Amino acid sequence: MSAAYRAHGATAVVTLDHPPVNGLGHELRSGIVAGIGRAAADPKIAAIVLIGSPKAFSGGADIREFNTPKMLAEPSLHTVIREIERSSKPVIAAISGACMGGGLELALGCHFRVAVAGAQIGLPEVKLGLLPGAGGTQRLPRVLGVETALNMIVSGTPVPSEKLKGTPLFDQFVESDFAALLPGALKFAEKVVAEKRPLKRVRDIKVAYPNAEGFFGVAKNTVKGMAGPFPAPLKCVECVEAAVKQPFEEGLATERRLFGELINTAESKALRHAFFGERAATKIPDVPEDTPTRPIKSAAVIGAGTMGGGIAMNFANAGIPVTVLEMKQEALDKGLATIRKNYEGSVKKGKLKPEDFEKRMGLIRPTLKYEDLAGADIVIEAVFEDMKVKQQVFEKLDAVMKKGAILATNTSTLDVD
């Protein structure tokens, strides 16, 4: 799927339709350009709205196209943005869900932006060993200021849209959910046309920073110390510096050059490999996505050692009561003491509130009896790496666990098949 086109009175709505996150692959880029062109050619159309889904305006570029001919195939994202900027009719981005990477760059290329609270705004390319390559490092400082934009670009951390309310990034907020976004955007488009508002191009905003030389010198030293062997964060700083010191087109050329250098680095290729690997690990080929899941309201863990204690903490962190079984009271006491110490450390660091500490400890129930596990929805054994020991554990679980309970094992070396 690519982009759907529909006229709402005098406003054309181009809907990004490439599930699950509207990745800006070649087909979707082509669909957006086609929609913009169709609206431009229709004398009945006075404005254009770009909108995505509740989940995403656009999650960014299609990473699978990187280092392939499709990545360079026209229309590139640069071309899409250029077509939007050149439009004689106002183009409004209606933003919800994820507006990340190339998706944010696409929105920054529009003349106006309308958003709902809760949308996630970010340029996460640095996490893949890259930098924003379609003008993000040049346009974001122009709407958010140098420091805020630099922090977002170097960290790659998304920011909720409501925290950016009142900045030039957004022209209007829709104080509701996705259902109200399109009506709100259409109303805003009518207002823009009726008031004959001038079309705003982010690229034309002047960006300056007092004592830029000193600021970027400090920023480079700080980022260099934090980035370690990864080159992307420092290149991001160079690009934002170019946004301040160079005319827009020159800054864009700097961004494009440094992006080209990074995409071929071993670091970026490795980070992208890990990105896809993590997602592949969450999918089981012979288990359909619509497979019904079982509710987990209680859990049990066998073994209170390092692994067992850590697993029990994960259940408690999720608010799920968990019973921890050991064979001897001494081992059980030692395991619970370690869990308590871990939580106390989090409280001291300010990562956990004291009341949450007590709540989580209260969810962890110690026992020496298998019978106390019987009602759990899931039980995970974390005993010694010995097949005979594990087999004995499962024989006991077979005898006591309720029908339908999930029996799981934690092992790094044994073939559980």
The pLDDT assigned to 375 comes to 93
End-to-end CA, the chain = 41
Torsion of the alpha carbons at 326, 330, 335 and 337, rounded to the nearest 10: 150
The pLDDT assigned to 379 comes to 96
Judge whether 125 counts as a catalytic residue.
yes
CA distance 345 to 350: 9
> Which token pair is 372?
């106390």
Report residue 204's pLDDT band, with 50, 70 and 90 as the boundaries: very high
Report the candidate in 89, 158, 76 with the shortest Cα–Cα distance to residue 118: 158
Using a pLDDT cut of 70, give the percent of the chain over it. 100
**331-344: pLDDT as tens digits:** 999 999 999 999 99
Report residue 287's pLDDT band, with 50, 70 and 90 as the boundaries: confident
Q: Indicate whether 66 pLDDT > 80.
A: no
| Cα dist from 18 to 29, 62, 322, whole Å | 10, 10, 41
HSE value, Cβ hemisphere, 13 Å, CA-based, for 417: 0
Mean pLDDT of the region 101-128: 95
Query: What HEC string does the chain produce?
Result: CCEEEEEECCEEEEEECCCCCCCCCHHHHHHHHHHHHHHHHCCCCCEEEEECCCCEEECCCCHHHCCCHHHHCCCCHHHHHHHHHHCCCCEEEEECEEEECHHHHHHHHCCEEEEECCCEEECHHHHHCCCCCCCHHHHHHHHHCHHHHHHHHHHCCCEEHHHHCCCCCCCEEECCCHHHHHHHHHHHHHHHHHCCCCCCCHHHCCCCCCCHHHHHHHHHHHHHHHHCCCCHHHHHHHHHHHHHHCCHHHHHHHHHHHHHHHHCCHHHHHHHHHHHHHHHHCCCCCCCCCCCCCCCCCEEEECCCHHHHHHHHHHHHCCCCEEEECCCHHHHHHHHHHHHHHHHHHHHCCCCCHHHHHHHHHHEEEECCHHHHCCCCEEEECCCCCHHHHHHHHHHHHHHCCCCCEEEECCCCCCCC
Please provide residue 254's backbone torsions phi and psi, each rounded to the nearest 5 degrees. -65, -45
Report residue 237's pLDDT band, with 50, 70 and 90 as the boundaries: very high
Burial class (CB in 10 A: 0-12, 13-18, 19+), 389: exposed
Q: Indicate whether 114 pLDDT > 70.
A: yes
**238-261: pLDDT as tens digits:** 999 999 999 999 999 999 999 999
Overall size of the chain counted in residues: 417
The pLDDT assigned to 213 comes to 84
The pLDDT assigned to 338 comes to 96
Looking at every residue in the chain, the average pLDDT score rounds to 92
The pLDDT assigned to 286 comes to 85
The pLDDT assigned to 183 comes to 94
The pLDDT assigned to 124 comes to 93
For the chain, what is the radius of gyration of the CA atoms?
Answer: 27
Residue 373 Rama label (left phi>0; alpha psi -120 to 50; beta): alpha
Decide if 409 contacts 381 (C-beta within 8 A).
yes
The pLDDT assigned to 289 comes to 77
Q: Indicate whether 1 pLDDT > 70.
A: no
The pLDDT assigned to 327 comes to 92
Mean pLDDT of the region 259-274: 88
**116-137: pLDDT as tens digits:** 988 999 999 999 999 999 999 9
Judge whether 330 counts as a catalytic residue.
no
The pLDDT assigned to 293 comes to 85
Mean pLDDT of the region 308-319: 95
Mean pLDDT of the region 12-35: 93
Q: In what order do the strands lie in the sheet with 98-100?
A: 56-58, 98-100, 120-122, 159-160
Q: Indicate whether 188 pLDDT > 70.
A: yes
Mean pLDDT of the region 103-128: 95
Q: In what order do the strands lie in the sheet with 406-409?
A: 364-367, 322-325, 299-302, 378-381, 406-409
| Active-site choice (27, 65, 83, 105) | 105
Mean pLDDT of the region 137-152: 95
| Active-site choice (83, 85, 125, 381) | 125
pTM of the model: 0.74
